[in-house]
Amino acid sequence: MKKIHIVAIIMIILAIGVLFMASNDIATYSSFSEAVASGKKVKVAGQLIKEKEMYYNPEKDPNYFSFYLRDVEGLEKKVVLLGAKPQDFELSEQVVLTGKINGEDFVASEMLLKCPSKYKDEEEFLMIQEG
């Protein structure tokens, strides 16, 4: 075999290995009830419950933030984010969390916020003009 063929085979094996390792880290969208049943790392989308307690004390622990979230099925859970509280968190329309159930709490390692669009008023104005 030529050296180029050996290098190509090694590159293909490495690529397959990287894809396999990456597939183990992929989380699927679920609800809290599905997260409890699976016990695996999942993504949960929901809305912040602003009426319930939010706790963040950066002097004590800057990587601990807790709040309550309602998922798409209406189930409410306490969420513990292992990270800092995001700026303008209270303004978010939707929250997407990556994590897993630990006891009664959902422990999140990542969070993505969907905030209100600064162009929302302009969009409504354009829709009225068209309609």
Give me the pLDDT at residue 120, please. Answer: 55
Residue 110's alpha-carbon distances to 16, 113, 129, in angstroms, are 27, 10, 40
Give the residue from 85, 31, 89 showing the smallest Cα distance to 61. Answer: 85
Pairing of strands 65-71, 76-81: antiparallel
DSSP assignment, residue 92? -
Give me the pLDDT at residue 67, please. Answer: 94
Give me the pLDDT at residue 27, please. Answer: 53
**Superfamily (CATH) of domain 27-116:** Nucleic acid-binding proteins (2.40.50.140)
Q: Is the pTM of this model over 0.85?
A: no
What are the mean pLDDT values of the chain's consecutive 10-residue runs (131 residues total)?
88 88 67 85 89 91 93 92 87 87 91 71 56 51
Tokens 């929250």 appear where? 95
Give me the pLDDT at residue 129, please. Answer: 56
Q: Output the CA torsion 73→75→77→82 (10° steps).
A: 0
Give me the pLDDT at residue 106, please. Answer: 93
Give me the pLDDT at residue 122, please. Answer: 53
